[in-house]
Amino acid sequence: MNEYLVCLHNHFKVKFIMEVTAKINISTPAGRKIVRELEKHKKLVKITYPISLGEDGKTEQTYSVEEVFEELDTKLKKHYGVTE
């Protein structure tokens, strides 16, 4: 993103931010290298990663930490025959 400061009569400052959106193929070494270089410039660059899609084209289910440990706890208790 390029930032420009324009002084109008030495009283006002207006900030113009120009943005660029690029799609980078990170499955290649060159793409990963470009992203690593961009990540070094945290004040200038904001990187967002799209939500991954499943085989059916829908977004994959994501789970919170609590949900993961609750499911793990349930499976371990069932496996070891622990009851509360």
**Does residue 21 surpass a pLDDT of 80?**
yes
Start-to-end CA distance of the chain, whole Å, equals: 57
In contact, 51 and 59? CB cutoff 8 Å: yes
- Report the mean per-residue pLDDT for the chain: 80
DSSP state of 50: P
List the Cα angle 69/70/75 in 5-degree steps.
Answer: 95
Angle subtended at Cα 23 by Cα 35 and Cα 36, rounded to the nearest 5 degrees: 0
Instruction: For the chain, give the percent of residues with pLDDT over 70.
Output: 77
50: its two tokens: 């799209």
DSSP notation for 7-26: EETTTEEEEEEE-------T
pLDDT band at 5 (very low <50, low <70, confident <90, very high): very low
